Structure 1
Amino acid sequence: MRTLLIIGTVGAGKTSAAEKVGELLAAAGTPHGVIDLDALSRGWPPPAGDRFNFALTVRNLRSLAANFRDIGAERLVLAGVAENAGHREKIAEAVGGELTVCRLRVDLATVRERLAGRHLDDPEGLDWHLKRSGELDRILREAQVEDVVVDGTGPVTRVAEEILRAIG
């Protein structure tokens, strides 16, 4: 099973792009699964030293990947974050197959606009996400865990098509 991990800062469009890639794979008749890694980490409180519950994400991903493999999925599309080579390695181990990482590149002004639209009634959440967007953008640019980089601005269908072209 070939796995695509779409990474990027908060507000980059990872989940939207992953869902659209899934739609394009379905249209092409390719058996697949789509997983938002954020949903796999939603447990509270996170353990000390694991701010974003990454270990729980990996445990849950291992189970889901096996389930998708068991039903015949040929592709697995993930939306999430791999902040370093160790994260990439753990995700690859969890899915048990070929892993290609695509980083969505979006300028921070666009990210800020997207986040402001998401957090209209949540000023504290907006503030946290705005701070995290710059921090995570820097972390991902420096870590260079991706195989390809795709422009994440513009219509999501165009972004998804470009991702599929870039990964082959």
Structure 2
Amino acid sequence: MTNGEFGIFLNGSYGVGKSSALEHLADLFAEAELPFSLFDVDWFHRSWPPASTDPQNVLTEADNIRAVWTNYRRTGPRTPIIAGVITQVEDLERYEQCFEIPLRIVHLTASPDVAERRLRGRYSPSQHRALAWHLDDHHRLTRELHQFTSHDLVLDTDHCTPAEVAALVVEEFAPQLHS
């Protein structure tokens, strides 16, 4: 691991604003001329069918992330900014192994009503199965996330725009990136 380097991991259940905040973080990092690379982990494991030896696609996801991170690192030092879900220490360890640096975890939360409203806005009527699955699983995942206590920052996104969430994350971590 490189001394002083770290990545920023936006952690949370569905509908809390991880992907939206990720985009705004990219804008703020670019404006501050801080080198970064974005990772929305959903795009690194979304394939079907999964391997019989990797039913949740977590090993495939890790291999894909590691390969892309290796490519980004060839262009020079940078901060990985990741949106995904970490519910247990094993998840954190797997991601830290992919990036070979420690990760600062930002737990984004939202009330059930706000998360549901956001999820309903994300899916079209033809995606009703995906919406129903995410609405149903949101509560389970939220409970698991509250049991995982290795968060460096917790932000309630109910009354914050994604840009405001990103600004709070930059305010918390950017000073450490300049040093």
Give, as a single letter, the amino acid of the residue that structure 2 aligns with 1:44. Answer: W
Q: TM-score, normalised by structure 2?
A: 0.87
Matched, 1:148 2:163: no
Give, as a single letter, the amino acid of the residue that structure 2 aligns with 1:45. Answer: P
Q: Which runs of 5+ in 1 are unaligned?
A: none
Give, as a single letter, the amino acid of the residue that structure 1 aligns with 2:109. Answer: R
1:93-112 aligned at under 5 Å gives the runs 93-112=97-116
Partner residue in 2 for 1:157: 163
Partner residue in 1 for 2:44: 40
Secondary structure, aligned partner of 1:101: strand
Q: Which runs of 5+ in 2 are unaligned?
A: 175-179
CA distance in 1, matches of 2:53, 2:18: 25
Give, as a single letter, the amino acid of the residue that structure 1 aligns with 2:58. Answer: F
Matched, 1:77 2:62: no
Structure 1 moving runs of 4+ over 3 Å: 47-52
Work out whether residues 148 and 167 of structure 1, in 8 Å CA contact, stay in contact via their aligned partners in 2: no
From the superposition, tell whether residues 14 and 67 of structure 1 become closer, same or farther in structure 2 (CA, over 3 Å).
same
CA RMSD of aligned residues (A): 1.6
1:1-168 aligned at under 5 Å gives the runs 1-48=5-52, 50-121=54-125, 122-153=127-158, 154-168=160-174
Work out whether residues 101 and 147 of structure 1, in 8 Å CA contact, stay in contact via their aligned partners in 2: yes
CA distance in 1, matches of 2:48, 2:138: 22
Secondary structure, aligned partner of 1:129: helix
Secondary structure, aligned partner of 1:26: helix
Q: How far did 1:101 drift?
A: 0.9
My pick for the range that moved more, 13-22 or 42-51, is: 42-51
CA deviation map 1:68-126 (0-9, x unaligned): 21111421101111121001011001101131111101111100001111223122221
